[in-house]
Amino acid sequence: MRILRWNSIRTKLIVFLLIPTVICIAAAIFINYSYTTESLRTRMVEENKNLLYQGYRNIDSYLKEINRISLTVYSDSEFYRLLDAGYDDMSANIRIYASLNYIYNSTPGIYQVYLYGMKNNEATLITENTPKRWQSEVPYSGAIVGSKEQLAIESTHESHHYGITSPILQVTEDKVFSLHRRIDKIPLNQALGYLSIDVRASALNDIMNQLYDRDHEKIYIIDSQGHIVYAGQSELIGTTIKDDWYKKQNTTLQQEQGSFKQDDSVFIYQRIQSIGADWTIVKQIPVSYMLREANQTAKINTLLLGLVLLIIVTATILISIRITAPIKRLSRYMTQVQTGNLNVDVLPAGNDEIGLLTNRFGSMMDTINNLILREYKLELSNKNNQLRALQAQINPHFLNNTLQIIGTLALEMEAPQIYKLISALAKMMHYSMHNDDRTVTLQDELEHVKAYVELQKERFENRFAFYYEIDEGLLSMPMPKIILQPIMENYFKHGIDRTKANGLISLVAERKPDGYVRMIVQNNGSQIPEERLELLRKDLDHLSGSLVHDSAQQDPRKPSIGLINVLARLRLVSGDDAALTVENLELTGVRITLEFRSLMESEEQ
């Protein structure tokens, strides 16, 4: 019972690990099962709709083929003439038999053909290639079709002999549906006779067997009166459907196509409106059969849930014991310290977090006696650091103020060139002293470059010219500090020819249509050796944000370090797509191009 005390970590670990695990796994199984079943049901309904539609097309084609055959009474001119004139002689009878026999044999599935001629009041029946003639004053009532309809389809029924009582050879009775056609004298709309074609219901087997699984599903063809034209269960053919689902969904079945769920089954239907027929194909699929795959998956997931729970319970108990034992030991150490015993012998407790905590507690107890001394040393170190930082701030200001005093003295001594150089140097120092400024404007950066170039002109005795071309709209653009001066510095360190006076360095800044800014620093000095240029390009290509720190560890005298530092700082401010390219010009000189997204564009976005 002590293991299950609520105020113990062990009990809380078991409960708080099991509850979310059970909830998450159960929710995952439920969501997965719901989604799978719904997806599977939707997919199967759509597939079966397409399947029934194909069945409808095949049945429609079959009925149209029977109808086309029935129309041969009009295309057979000799047959039509005999029907109009009457047929008593032997040759006429043979011709009539031949035409009816052609209809009988034209399509598989025809059970018998019945013809009644109004001229002679004679009925002829072709059954299994056996013609029979019968005299009657009126045609068989079921074969009569009105002048408006011209054609009718009679639902499936037991076969009969259309009232012919003369001896007929023994034939196998079957369930048939019938096509009845009225044969008119054109254009008088006067009945010459009636033609009936009985078709075995089994003729639909080849079509219907492709539409369902006989072992698990059911299929029906139902006419508008509820009579079963065809069914997978042969004993239902020709009967009236009495199932509850038909009584409740009879109105729904009048639609062109659809589906509904009832009595643990899903029903998919397709209406057939063909010549003389108004039928509906209905397919019944048990939900259990439709979702068999999802149910199987749910069973597997449930077994996995039980297995996972068993593993989690076992692991939780073992882990809780493993965790709580060193915690209790650590609690005893703390109790000793609380009583005043600062020399506690702390034993190692492993390499996990609890062991680390125990080891840290031991280390803390080892150092607690000299804590006051260490605090004094730390305070003294902090004071020294603050003093150094204050001195680092005072010295640049002192130098800057001294330069201003010297510049004023130069003016008083009428030495404007010295004042100009000292002012340029003072500007550069003042610009560099404001380290808190992360970004400056391009105007500020340009002024810094001008001061730097002014000093270099004095150094190199005006052996070079400097010009710049910058879009006015870019002067207020923010940019990282001290970007342009390190680029220009490479020219004065490595590129300028001291023996010539035609040196040239230029700065061009422009805004590109895509929102980026391009800056080009170009000179006519010495080119960079190809091997060195290739190494520089590799360093720039592999640059990442971490190189800002790494570059500080390298030798700052290397020319590539300044460029790498420029690109690294530019990427930190404007984004990783900032680029710096270096290339030798065709004859002499070097071009360095910077491309980066304008900080004004970034802030607007």
Of 205-214, 295-304, 529-538, the poorest mean pLDDT is in 295-304
Bridge partners (DSSP) listed for residue 181: 151, 195
**% the chain with pLDDT above 70:** 80
Q: Do the domain assignments include residue 562?
A: yes
CA-nearest of 450, 545, 460, 551 to 500 is 460
Q: Do the domain assignments include residue 420?
A: yes
* pLDDT tens profile 385-400: 444 444 444 345 445 5
User: Residue 498 is part of a domain; what is its CATH number?
Assistant: 3.30.565.10
Bridge partners (DSSP) listed for residue 134: 123
Q: Are 259 and 53 in contact (CB under 8 A)?
A: no
Last residue in a domain, options 187, 203, 219: 203
Give me the chain's average pLDDT, please: 79
* pLDDT tens profile 538-586: 888 887 444 444 443 444 445 456 788 888 878 877 778 889 999 999 8
Spell out the long-range contacts of 103-108 with Cβ–Cβ below 8 A and sequence spacing 24 or more: 103/69, 103/70, 103/72, 103/197, 104/129, 105/129, 106/69, 107/65, 107/66, 107/69, 108/203
- Hey, what are 369's tokens? 């006696």
505 and 432 in one domain?
A: no
CA-nearest of 200, 197, 202, 201 to 99 is 197
Backbone angles phi, psi at 263, to 5 degrees: 55, 45
pLDDT at 504: 93
Top-ranked range on mean pLDDT: pick from 125-129, 420-424, 436-440, 514-518: 514-518
For 39, residues 6+ apart whose C-beta sits below 8 A from its C-beta are: none
Q: Do the domain assignments include residue 450?
A: no
Calpha distance 273→263 (Å, rounded): 28
Respond yes or no on whether the N-terminal peptide bond of residue 131 is cis (omega within 30° of 0). no
Measured at the alpha carbon of residue 217, what is the angle toward residues 214 and 222, in degrees to the nearest 5?
Answer: 100
521 and 425 in one domain?
A: no
Q: Do the domain assignments include residue 87?
A: yes
pLDDT at 467: 92
Q: Are 129 and 155 in contact (CB under 8 A)?
A: no
pLDDT at 282: 93
431 and 506 in one domain?
A: no
CA atoms 30, 33, 36, 41: torsion sign: negative
CA-nearest of 265, 264, 189 to 220 is 265
Name the more confident of 135 and 204. 204
Tell me which residue has tokens 């006779």.
Answer: 193
Measured at the alpha carbon of residue 543, what is the angle toward residues 476 and 494, in degrees to the nearest 5?
Answer: 75
477 and 358 in one domain?
A: no
pLDDT range class, residue 531, cuts 50, 70, 90: very high
Name the more confident of 278 and 319. 278
471 and 431 in one domain?
A: no
Q: Are 162 and 143 in contact (CB under 8 A)?
A: yes
Of 271-280, 407-416, 562-571, the poorest mean pLDDT is in 407-416
491 and 430 in one domain?
A: no
Name the more confident of 368 and 306. 306
Q: Do the domain assignments include residue 413?
A: yes
* pLDDT tens profile 459-472: 788 889 999 999 88
pLDDT at 75: 87
Name the more confident of 102 and 254. 102
pLDDT at 505: 93
* pLDDT tens profile 433-444: 655 556 788 998
Per the document, the length of the chain is 605
Measured at the alpha carbon of residue 346, what is the angle toward residues 343 and 349, in degrees to the nearest 5?
Answer: 170
How many other CB atoms are there within 10 angstroms of residue 302's CB atom? 14
Count up the domains in the chain and report the number. 3
User: Residue 189 is part of a domain; what is its CATH number?
Assistant: 3.30.450.20
Q: Do the domain assignments include residue 410?
A: yes
Q: Do the domain assignments include residue 441?
A: no
407 and 475 in one domain?
A: no
472 and 422 in one domain?
A: no
* Owning domain of residue 117: 71-203
Helix axes 442-459, 416-433, angle to 10 degrees: 140
Calpha distance 514→518 (Å, rounded): 11
How many other CB atoms are there within 10 angstroms of residue 435's CB atom? 9
pLDDT at 28: 78
pLDDT at 16 over 80: no
Last residue in a domain, options 155, 170, 203: 203
Q: Do the domain assignments include residue 367?
A: yes
Please state the separation of Cα 277 from the chain's center in Å. Answer: 46
pLDDT at 390: 41
Is pTM beyond 0.95 here?
A: no
500 and 412 in one domain?
A: no
